[in-house]
Chains A and B, each alone.
Chain A
Amino acid sequence: MSYFRITLMRSGIGLPPKTQGVLKALGLRKRMTTVYYPVSQSVAGQIMRIKELVDVKEVEHAMTKEQMRAARRPDPGYYIERRGTEAMRGYEEV
């Protein structure tokens, strides 16, 4: 099953209420928002209404908001090698 990946590139400010309504229906609230919808006729029609504003790509898998956030997040770049309490344990026993 394939999905449309729709990203709002240009804002809908100043456009007719009908166009803004389509944006709202698709869940595109502000610029650079990305949403995924399964490929269907109704979604294709909605995209046609706002085709000047969005970037569309057909992808295999949809991503949730959390997954998109996780994909943007950089590597922490550290890990805890030894706990300070572990190092002190020998001293407390003696």
Chain B
Amino acid sequence: MALLARTIRRSLLESRNTLPPTFLLPFRAHITTVSHNLEPGNVPDAVLQSGQHISKDLKAKVHSPPSPSKAASKPDSPAPKPSANAREDVVSQAITPSIRQMLPLLHSQPPHYLTVHIHGRPYLLTAGDTLRLPFLMPHVKPGDVLRLNRATHIGSRDYTLKAPEPVKGTRDHGKKVYYLDESLFVCRARVVGIESEPMRVMEKTKRRQRHVKHVRSKMKYTVLKVSEVEVKSLEEYETLLKVG
């Protein structure tokens, strides 16, 4: 029985490997960088150019056919993790054609927002935001500069660069969470201070007894201020990829 199951699993794995990684499929690539409902196809040019100017060379770059992207490093490792409920964080470092096309447009449209993940939880941030984390961050003091390096979305008014959707885990393979390449953006936050909530008193009672126990709690939270959100241009990103 076990042998049969193993062969079935192997055949499944092989069929998965023949497909390109999900984020390279054209449908996914289309979804990743196009804004929510304003597809460039169905929005008139006048509307697209109303708020911001897109310089001529930039437009020429967009309309030129995308050059074939470099050999993408495969983020999918074929060997599944032995542990159930495991989790894998994948940072995709590939220039897909859609990134090549749309990153100049996204870069030309400051200010930007990011969906940054801290300990796996998303926070939507722009420069100048104050973020009160729901926990006390260990080993940091006010004045420290943090570099936030896990993001799933980079967005401007009209464009959003999205990382692929996370893949839900099963018994056989763990959850897979995709993040954008960390050399695509720079996000710095400064620890501003520690905030604490007003003291909470919870009354604990037991049946048929007059005694009431009071449990006090007062949580502390770290406060960050986002000092810098910078999105790299395509040229900078390419040079960074070559160096790194």
Contacts and interface: CB of A to CB of B under 8 A. Distances in A.
Interface of A: 5, 7, 32, 34, 55, 57-61, 63, 67-68, 71-85, 87-88
Contacts of B129: none
Interface residues of B, number: 35
Nearest to A3: B82
B136 interface: no
B144 A34 contact: no
Contacts of A58: 2, 6
Q: SS class of chain A's interface: helix, strand, loop or mixed?
A: mixed
A79 B87 CA distance: 20
Contact of A74 (B89, B142, B189): B89
Contacts of B140: 80
Contacts of B172: 57
Q: Is the interface of B mostly helix, strand, loop or mixed?
A: loop
B149 interface: yes
A5 B84 CA distance: 9
Interface string B69-97: 00000000000011111110100000000
Of the candidates A34, A67, A77, the one having the most CB atoms from chain B within 10 angstroms of its own CB is A77
Contacts of B87: 71-74
B103 to A, nearest CB: 22
A57 B117 contact: no
A48 B146 CA distance: 52
A71 B141 contact: no
Contacts of B142: 84
A8 to B, nearest CB: 11
Contact of B82 (A63, A76, A78, A87): A63
24 contacts: A5-B83, A55-B171, A58-B6, A59-B82, A71-B86, A71-B87, A72-B83, A72-B86, A74-B87, A74-B119, A75-B117, A75-B120, A75-B150, A76-B118, A77-B116, A77-B120, A77-B150, A78-B150, A81-B146, A82-B144, A83-B143, A84-B191, A85-B143, A87-B145
